[in-house]
Structure 1
Amino acid sequence: MPLPFPPTRQPTRLPCAILREPTMIDVRSDTVTHPTPAMRQAMFDAVVGDDVYGDDPTVQQLETLAATILGKEAALFVPSGNFGNQLALLSHCQRGDEVILGDDCHIVWHETGGAAVIAGVQLRTIASPDGVLAATEIQKRIRTGDDIHAPRTGLICLENAHSNGRVIPLADMQAVWDVAQQHAIPVHLDGARIFNAAAHLGCDVRDLTQYCDTVMCCLSK
């Protein structure tokens, strides 16, 4: 027969977390996580204003901070990484231009043909083992002649870290940048995971962004 509990003491209750099934770790995407209570409170307390008139101080602070960290002249806050990449295509290219990029990059696979529908450019893909674009292969595909039937090479796009998880070495980025400079072609960096790449390489993020004219980064990564 079990002994009764002392009158001044209640039975110990185990925390409910111990009794629950283990929490599933969702790795389908890096955007399926939820904000913490502190993050929700920060959003609730944020000073806001009209963005068109430049009256939103938190957006201005974010854009200034991003430009400083990334070593660029200015920054623009937009709703998504797709939006940022498409802005780069629109900014650098004329309609009908050709963009050189990896055959397995995000712009090709995961942006629902936005390059054609929104920016009006065509994509010229090259094989990119482990996400690395060889500068020699890019060199071969740059349109350098005066053939009126050929599109103009308007942009080269890189992705670092690549969405397959591979971090592109600085030497490979510099090699692509050097080729682009020789032909006066701008370079855009899909840097959705650029801070992860910098952490892996043990360098400042500006060591990466020095090899591109524009860069997109995500706050959700």
Structure 2
Amino acid sequence: MMKIDLRSDTVTLPTAGMRAAMEMAELGDDVYGEDVTVNKLEAKVADMFGREAALFCPTGTMTNQLAIRVHVQPGDEVICDKLAHIYLYEGGGIALNAFASVRPLDGDLGRLTAEMVERSINNPHDIHQPITKLVCLENTVNKGGGSMYDFDEIKRIKQVCKKNGLILHLDGARLFNALVETEQTPQDYGKDFDSISICLSKGLGCPVGSVLIGSQELVSKARRFRKVMGGGWRQAGALAAAGIYALTIMSTA
């Protein structure tokens, strides 16, 4: 009797076609910006989301933490749900990497509302409180049983962020699951978020890899911090080829 491992979508294995694409990938040194296949993946993802640039990384934890590190200053505050991956499962990285405080909110299956966000913004003139700088959403929410945001609520949260000068980041590790079930496109998300992290190893079947998406300035700064975190890899094109294959063949985006 065949057993199916349902612990996580991260235990999926590459298809034969994906393995063939990996084997044939053109390689170079990504630290020097010379891996053609990595460059193609980053350009493809940036274009897919309608943004200027993207950065290929080993994990979604790294792409989330790079975004937070770039967006905030030490002592700033990050708003997220109490079930958020960035809060529960990234080793205290917000404190370790960004020296920032966290305001975890009690949302609905991991989902925040615009009203909740607005109520939680600190008075920037109160020296007793950290400065609220960043709002992080997760879609779909892993600890929420795969719960999805209503995109209209995301747009309302974006308006709260704009009104209060806050930055909006998306942990979109399983965003393609939400895209399959809704009418939104990657470009819709690209318009409303200042940065987006997507995982190629969740739902898309790649063996490894995540991508951080945003402005050229964001990605340039994140690339420097990626190197600091030990994420500067060399001939990574074989892994990037799996991502290109997945986004071309296995994604409905």
Give TM-score scaled by structure 1 length: 0.87
Greater helix content: 2
Find out whether 1:50 has 2:29 as its counterpart: yes
Determine if contact 1:105/1:162 at 8 Å carries over to the other structure: yes
Q: What per-residue deviation string (whole Å, max 9, x for no partner) do you get for residues 138-184 of structure 1? A: 11111224122211111000111111211101111011100000011
Give the match's secondary structure for 2:66. Answer: helix
Give the match's secondary structure for 2:62. Answer: helix
Determine if contact 1:93/1:154 at 8 Å carries over to the other structure: yes
Q: 1:177 aligns with which of 158, 164, 167?
A: 158
Q: Which amino acid aligns with 1:141?
A: S
Identity %: 43
Distance apart, 1:102 and its partner CA = 0.6
Determine if contact 1:48/1:57 at 8 Å carries over to the other structure: yes
Q: 1:195 aligns with which of 164, 176, 181?
A: 176
Determine if contact 2:82/2:105 at 8 Å carries over to the other structure: yes
Q: Structure 2 stretches of 5 or more lacking a match?
A: 203-253
Determine if contact 2:69/2:98 at 8 Å carries over to the other structure: yes
Q: Which amino acid aligns with 1:176?
A: I
Which residue number corresponds to residue 167 of structure 2? 186
Greater strand content: 2
- Cα distance in 2 for residues equivalent to 1:203 and 1:135: 19
Distance apart, 1:54 and its partner CA = 1.2
Q: 2:43 aligns with which of 30, 46, 64?
A: 64
In the superposition, relative to structure 1, how do residues 209 and 131 fare at CA in structure 2: closer, same or farther (>3 Å)? farther
Which residue number corresponds to residue 237 of structure 2? none
Q: What per-residue deviation string (whole Å, max 9, x for no partner) do you get for residues 111-157 of structure 1? A: 11111112211110111112220111111111224122211111000
Q: What per-residue deviation string (whole Å, max 9, x for no partner) do you get for residues 12-59 of structure 1? A: xxxxxxxxxx22111111111222333223222211101122110000
Which residue number corresponds to residue 120 of structure 1? 99
Find out whether 1:166 has 2:166 as its counterpart: no
Find out whether 1:83 has 2:62 as its counterpart: yes
Q: Structure 1 stretches of 5 or more lacking a match?
A: 1-21
Q: Which amino acid aligns with 2:114?
A: A
- Cα distance in 1 for residues equivalent to 2:86 and 2:17: 33
Q: 2:16 aligns with which of 30, 37, 41?
A: 37
Give TM-score scaled by structure 2 length: 0.76
Q: Which amino acid aligns with 1:192?
A: A
Runs of 4+ in 1 over 6 A off after TM superposition: none
- Cα distance in 2 for residues equivalent to 1:193 and 1:145: 33
Which residue number corresponds to residue 192 of structure 2? 211
- Cα distance in 1 for residues equivalent to 2:99 and 2:133: 12
- Cα distance in 2 for residues equivalent to 1:201 and 1:38: 27
Determine if contact 1:143/1:153 at 8 Å carries over to the other structure: yes
Structure 2 matches for 1:17-32, cutoff 5 A? 22-32=1-11
